[in-house]
């Protein structure tokens, strides 16, 4: 069971952090030539497809992470400092994503539906900032999660 839980934990991390990497490093620099109305509508569709996967990743990371600690290891006493740090970073990322989803993303969808391109572009700017922070935190969390046990 530990093998399965660790594997789905790593898969969820790949989906979330890899998706942010693609959005920030490949898609964002490629949408410049589009007219603003088409650009904001594209981002609204892209986020609409990606964010359900992020919610799934959040659930899987929490469920599998706590399973490993509580069921496999018998409690937090057996968890090294890298695991506490991963949990902290993970919770910060999840809080930022929750805010992003229920504040700027909600406003983005409303603005796109109302053909209000300047408001939509502003929300995308906010989302871009939060995703930049979460991308850095996510890459650090992968290092902590995958490499941390070899440092203790
Ligand atoms: C964005 C959030 C997170 C990311 C990106 C992440 C990433 C990772 C990665 C890459 C590993 C290594 C998997 C492997 O062995 O191949 C790992 C292991 C682990 N993670 Fe996370 N994780 C996150 C959140 C969490 C949370 C919230 C918890 C606790 C509830 C948690 C608990 C664990 C545990 C217990 C391990 C095994 C560590 C060990 O064997 O020393 N993780 N994580």
Whose alpha carbon is nearest atom 14 of ligand 1? 146
Q: What is the dihedral of CA 9, 15, 18, 21, to 10 degrees?
A: -120
Taking only the tens place, the pLDDT of each residue in 49-70 is 999 999 999 999 999 999 999 9
**Residue 45 C-alpha from the chain's centroid:** 17
Query: Per-residue pLDDT averaged across 96-100, rounded?
Result: 98
Using CA atoms, how far residue 70 sits from 64, 123, 132, in Å, is: 10, 39, 32
Outline where 23-116 has alpha helix (H). 36-66, 81-100, 106-113
Taking only the tens place, the pLDDT of each residue in 111-140 is 999 999 999 999 999 999 999 999 999 999
pLDDT category of residue 151 using cuts at 50, 70 and 90: confident
Find the domain containing 84 and state its range: 2-150
Q: What pLDDT is stored for residue 152 in this prediction? A: 62
Q: Using the 8-state DSSP alphabet, how is residue 27 labeled?
A: I
Q: What pLDDT is stored for residue 150 in this prediction? A: 93
- Helix 117-147 / helix 36-66 crossing angle, nearest 10 deg: 30
Q: What pLDDT is stored for residue 114 in this prediction? A: 98
The answer, yes or no, to whether residue 74 has pLDDT greater than 90, is yes
Residue 139 CA to ligand 1 center (angstroms) comes to: 12
Which residue in the block uniquely carries the two structure tokens 């030539």? 33
**Cβ 90 under 6 angstroms from ligand 1:** yes
- The count of domains in the chain is 1
């Amino acid at each position: 069971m530990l093998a399965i839980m660790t594997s789905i934990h790593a898969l969820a991390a790949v989906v979330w952090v890899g998706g942010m990497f693609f959005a920030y490093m490949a898609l964002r620099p490629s949408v410049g030539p589009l007219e603003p109305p088409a650009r904001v509508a594209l981002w609204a569709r892209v986020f609409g497809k990606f964010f359900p996967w992020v919610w799934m990743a959040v659930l899987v990371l929490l469920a599998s992470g706590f399973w490993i600690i509580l069921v496999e290891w018998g409690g937090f006493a057996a968890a090294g400092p890298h695991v506490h740090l991963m949990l902290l970073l993970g919770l910060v990322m999840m809080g930022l994503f929750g805010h992003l989803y229920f504040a700027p993303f909600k406003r983005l969808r409303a603005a796109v539906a109302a053909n209000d391109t300047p408001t939509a572009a502003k929300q995308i700017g906010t989302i871009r900032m939060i995703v930049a922070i979460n991308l850095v935190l996510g890459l650090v969390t992968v290092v902590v999660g995958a490499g941390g046990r070899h440092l203790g």
